[in-house]
Amino acid sequence: MPPFNKILIANRGEIAIRIMRAVKEMGMKAVAVYSDADKNSLHVKYADEAYYIGPSPALESYLNIQRIIDAAERAHADAVHPGYGFLSENAEFAEAVEKAGMTFIGPPSYVMRKIKSKLEGKMIAKNAGVPVSPGSDGPVESVDDAIKIAEKIGFPIMIKASYGGGGIGIIKVENVEELKEAFERSRRLALQAFGKSEIYIEKMAVKPRHIEAQLIGDKYGNYVVAYERECTIQRRNQKLIEEAPSPILDNEKRKELIEASIRFGKAIGYYTLGTMEFVYSEVSREFYFLEINKRLQVEHGITELITGIDLVKLQIKLAAGEYLPYSQEDIKIRGHAIEFRINAEDPLNNFAGSSGYITYYKEPSGPGIRVDSGVDLGSYVPPYYDSMISKLMVYGKDRATAIQIARRALDEYKISGIKTIIPLYKLIINDKDFIEGKFTTNYISEKMPVFLEELKKREEMKVISYLVLYSQSQIKLSFHKEVKSSYRNVDRMSAWKRQGLVMQSTTRVMW
């Protein structure tokens, strides 16, 4: 018997589809919600049922608790899965779901309230004997306070949104001048993205790497950790490439990480899935707790690949009150997995978001490849939400094999109509330091000047190739015009052919 009958997924894009897949496999019904911008999106079509919840801006749809609860009630759902981002870590939402008589797939609202923000999480960690990095012990309300704290702990520092996630609202600050400028910007972004402007300050580690542990717990105080993921390759504090296991962690440190994570879970009676994020310094071989993500993580797939556990199914079962079916000894690491976040962004233009229609789409496949995508040919990538459209995961018996597979997979992945960071990944995957696992969270910002030059050169080469063929009349841009002229003879054509030509001659060619 499946634990629920019908689960509403209060999210969009690839993660909504990922969760629906688990829901369907478990023999339950999956319900989607959608905004105006998403009415033709893949997750809406993939669901068993779908309900409209409002206009495109997230505040009026995916962040609107009442509209989502209404949709869940209309659908007679008995559980709600929040995915990641949006309302996934919002205690009021979890409570609203519980009050409506449904199960929230995640930690219960009373546990969430203990760690409403990153800041509260940090204090709990401190008390549970989990190491934390120095910074403000509370929210910072004014620029003057910020400067005082920063000068006490020393620059560089990070300004972080207490209620943030996905790297939004995190700003690295090197000096007082930058701090003055960044303070308001960070508060505004935090308010916009998370509805709360509270921010705090933390010291930046030396040669930091980002390592996180996958905490899994049931309602009855049993915990396991499905090992770690390394998410050091970031830009603007947003993860780009993640891998599991970490290429640098030894078994002794791994054990410390696991034990600290379980202590934290026990301290607050946490259950379902949580991600314990740490910053790890290779120099001092010390790790500091950053925050706990109280939800399914974007990069959960690579843990699934190396452990063989379906984390989404497990999460649903644990939320329903089932016992944890494994002990720590049952979980083994097999092989190596790497994930590339496919973002609709232009690496040549400071990673500016690139929205639009997808006019060409070929996904990689074959041995060792998993693609969790939220788009297809003809999909619209709206400017209102996160830029991640898909995740490419590769899996091999060791890291070197995974990298070989990644090279092939990235070559196979072809997208047009929007910009993506695939061309940048092709450079990273061939970079010596990446191949040897030598990097810090500054990897992208340090290497970017070299990568940019190469990317520019490659883009120009493509245009030159096109022009060579064009100037030699091997390729014609006038394709659209020719279609239009033959379109005048439409009366002599069958309606099917006419329809086909009309479809082809519009600027957005396919779908």
375 near other proteins, rule: CB under 8 A: no
Q: Angle CA(167)–CA(172)–CA(176) in degrees, nearest 5?
A: 145
Q: What is each CA distance from 363 to 70, 241, 357, 376, 408, in whole angstroms?
A: 36, 18, 16, 9, 12
- DSSP code of residue 366: S
Place of tokens 């072809």: 414
Could you say whether residue 473 binds other proteins (CB under 8 A)? no
If one asks whether residue 481 binds other proteins (CB under 8 A), the answer comes out as no
Is 459 one of the binding residues for other proteins (CB under 8 A)?
yes
414 scored as a contact of other proteins (CB under 8 A): yes
Out of 295, 341, 370, 399, the active site residue is: 295
Contact code string over 419-438 relative to other proteins, x by CB under 8 A: x--xx---------------
Cis peptide leading into 156, omega within 30 of 0?
yes
Among 76, 126, 152, 188, binds other proteins (CB under 8 A): 188
CA dihedral of 277, 283, 284, 286, whole degrees rounded to 10: 20
59 binds other proteins (CB under 8 A): no
Q: How far is the CB of 1 from other proteins (least distance, A)?
A: 40
The number of beta carbons lying within 10 Å of the beta carbon of residue 354 is 19
Residue 295 annotated as catalytic: yes
Q: Which of 168, 215, 216, 371 binds other proteins (CB under 8 A)?
A: 168
Instruction: Write the DSSP assignment of 446-506 as a string of letters.
Output: HHHHHHHHHHHHHHHHHHHHHHHHHHTTSS-TTHHHHHHHHHTTGGGS-HHHHHHHHHHHS
Residues 224-283 that bind other proteins (CB under 8 A): 236
Closest CB 79 distance from other proteins, rounded Å: 28
For other proteins, the closer CB: 166 or 269: 166
Q: Choose, by CB under 8 A, the member of 106, 107, 208, 417 that binds other proteins.
A: 417
Side-chain-side CA neighbours of 28 within 13 Å: the count stands at 26
325 near other proteins (CB under 8 A):
no
Q: How many CB atoms lie within 10 A of CB 81?
A: 31
Find the angle CA(470)-CA(472)-CA(478) to the nearest 5 degrees: 40
Tell which one of 148, 207, 255, 458 touches other proteins (CB under 8 A).
458
* Extended strands (E) in 315-400: 336-343, 345-346, 352-353, 356-357, 360-362, 369-373, 380-381, 388-396
C-alpha–C-alpha distance, residues 35 and 424, integer Å: 31
- Measured CA to CA in angstroms, residue 277 lies from 136, 192, 292, 337, 500 at distances of 18, 24, 6, 19, 52
The binder of other proteins chosen from 82, 347, 353, 368 (CB under 8 A)? 353
What separation in angstroms does the CA of 52 have from each of 69, 73, 283? 12, 13, 51
CB of 502 to other proteins, least distance (A): 17
Q: Does 506 bind other proteins (CB under 8 A)?
A: no
Closer CB to other proteins, 251 or 473, in the complex: 473
With H, G, I as helix, E, B as strand and everything else as coil, classify residue 247: coil
Q: Establish if 129 lies at the interface with other proteins (CB under 8 A).
A: no
CB nearer to other proteins: give 4 or 413: 413
Among 59, 400, 469, 502, binds other proteins (CB under 8 A): 469
SS3 of residue 46 by DSSP = helix
Query: Per CB under 8 A, does 376 bind other proteins?
Result: no
- Under rule CB under 8 A, residue 206 binds other proteins: no
Which residues neighbour 81 within 8 Å (Cβ) at sequence distance 6 or greater? 7, 8, 9, 10, 11, 19, 23, 105, 106, 316
- Alpha-carbon distance of 295 to 87, in angstroms, equals 10
Q: Give yes or no for residue 511 binding other proteins (CB under 8 A).
A: no
Q: Which CB, 14 or 304, lies closer to other proteins? A: 14
Candidates 112-120, 276-284, 294-302, 377-385; binding stretch for other proteins (CB under 8 A): 377-385
Peptide bond into 423 cis (omega under 30): no
Give the binding-site size for other proteins (rule: CB under 8 A).
Answer: 59
When asked if residue 485 is in the footprint of other proteins (CB under 8 A), the reply is no
Candidates 40, 66, 349, 430; binder of other proteins (CB under 8 A) is 349
Region of 5-13, 62-70, 132-140, 189-197 interacting with other proteins (CB under 8 A): 189-197
Of 163, 351, 439, 451, which one interacts with other proteins (CB under 8 A)? 351
Q: Please tell me whether residue 450 binds other proteins under the rule CB under 8 A.
A: no
Nearer to other proteins, 148 or 188 (CB): 188
In 3D, which of 402, 436, 375 has the Cα closest to residue 302?
Answer: 402
Take residue 194 and report the two structure tokens written for it: 């998370």
* 477 touches other proteins (CB under 8 A): yes
Which residue of 139, 247, 356, 378 would you call a contact of other proteins, by CB under 8 A? 356
In the complex, which residues of this chain contact other proteins (CB under 8 A)?
Answer: 166, 168, 185, 188-189, 192-193, 236, 344-346, 349-356, 359-360, 383-387, 411-412, 414-419, 422-423, 456-472, 474-477, 479, 507
- What residues act catalytically? 295
